Structure 1
Amino acid sequence: MPHKIALNFEDGITKFIDSGESESIADAAYRQGINVPLDCTNGVCGTCKAFRQSGEFDPGSYIEDALSDAEAAQGYVLCCQAKAKSDMVIDILASSGACKVKPKDTMAEIVDVKALSAHRIRLSVKPLEGAFPMFLPGQYVNVTAPTETVKRPYSFTSAPGADVATFLIRNVPGGKMSAYMAATAKKGDRLVLNGPFGSFYLRAPRRPILFLAGGTGVGPILSMLEHLAARGANDQPVRLVYGARNDADLVEVERIEALRARIPKFTYDTTCSGPGSCHPLTGHVTDHFSAGALNNGDVDVYLCGPAEMVESGRQHVAKLGLLPANIHFEKFAPASEAIAV
Structure 2
Amino acid sequence: MSYTIALNFEDGVTRFIGCKAGETVLDAAYRQKVNLPMDCSDGVCGTCKGHCEQGAFDMGDEYLEEALSAEGQVLTCQMVPSSDCVIQVPVASTLCKTQVGKVEGRVAVVEPLSEDSIELAIDLDEEAGLAFLPGQYIHIEVPGTGEHRSYSFSSLPGEARATFLIRNIPDGVMSTYLTERCAPGDRLTLTGPLGSFYLREIARPVLMLAGGTGLAPFLSMLEQLARKREEGQGCDQPVHLIYGVNKDDHLVKTDALDAFAERLPGFSYATVVVDEMSDHPRKGYVTHHMDAEVLHDGDIDVYLCGPPPMVDAVLEHFDAEDIAPQSFHYEKFTPNQAPGEAA
Question: Structure 2 length as normaliser, TM-score?
Answer: 0.94
For structure 2, the residue ranges without an aligned partner over 5 or more in a row are 338-343
SS of corresponding position for 2:309:
helix
CA distance in 1, matches of 2:227, 2:15: 22
Identity across aligned pairs (percent)? 46
Q: Which residue of 2 aligns with 1:167?
A: 164
CA distance in 2, matches of 1:242, 1:28: 41
Q: Which residue of 1 aligns with 2:108?
A: 111
CA distance in 2, matches of 1:143, 1:325: 34
Question: Structure 1 length as normaliser, TM-score?
Answer: 0.94
- The yes-or-no answer on 1:322 pairing with 2:323 is yes
Q: Give deviations 1:110-160, integer Å, cap 9, x for gaps.
A: 110001111100001111242332000000110013433221001100111
Q: Which residue of 2 aligns with 1:256?
A: 257
In the TM superposition, residue 263 of structure 1 has moved relative to its aligned partner by: 1.1
Q: Which residue of 2 aligns with 1:195?
A: 192
In the TM superposition, residue 104 of structure 1 has moved relative to its aligned partner by: 1.4
Q: 2:154 aligns with which of 151, 154, 157?
A: 157
CA distance in 2, matches of 1:62, 1:228: 33
Letter of the 2:13 counterpart: I
Q: Give deviations 1:288-331, integer Å, cap 9, x for gaps.
A: 11333221222100011000001111221222323111000000
Check whether the contact 2:142–2:149 (CA below 8 A) recurs between aligned residues.
no
Residues 169-188 of structure 1: pairs in structure 2 closer than 5 A: 169-188=166-185
Letter of the 1:7 counterpart: L
Q: Which residue of 1 aligns with 2:139?
A: 142
Q: What is the total number of aligned residue pairs between the two structures?
A: 333
- The yes-or-no answer on 1:286 pairing with 2:287 is yes
- The yes-or-no answer on 1:204 pairing with 2:205 is no
Q: Which residue of 2 aligns with 1:6?
A: 6
CA distance in 2, matches of 1:94, 1:274: 44
CA distance in 1, matches of 2:188, 2:331: 25
- The yes-or-no answer on 1:272 pairing with 2:273 is yes
Check whether the contact 1:51–1:77 (CA below 8 A) recurs between aligned residues.
yes
SS of corresponding position for 1:314:
helix
Check whether the contact 1:44–1:63 (CA below 8 A) recurs between aligned residues.
no
- The yes-or-no answer on 1:46 pairing with 2:46 is yes
> Residues 63 and 56 of structure 1: is their aligned pair in 2 closer, same or farther, counting only changes over 3 Å?
closer
Q: Which residue of 2 aligns with 1:56?
A: 56
Q: 2:120 aligns with which of 119, 123, 137?
A: 123
- The yes-or-no answer on 1:234 pairing with 2:256 is no
- The yes-or-no answer on 1:215 pairing with 2:212 is yes
Check whether the contact 1:43–1:61 (CA below 8 A) recurs between aligned residues.
no
CA distance in 2, matches of 1:194, 1:149: 14
- The yes-or-no answer on 1:102 pairing with 2:87 is no
For structure 1, the residue ranges without an aligned partner over 5 or more in a row are 337-341
In the TM superposition, residue 68 of structure 1 has moved relative to its aligned partner by: 7.3
RMSD: 1.5
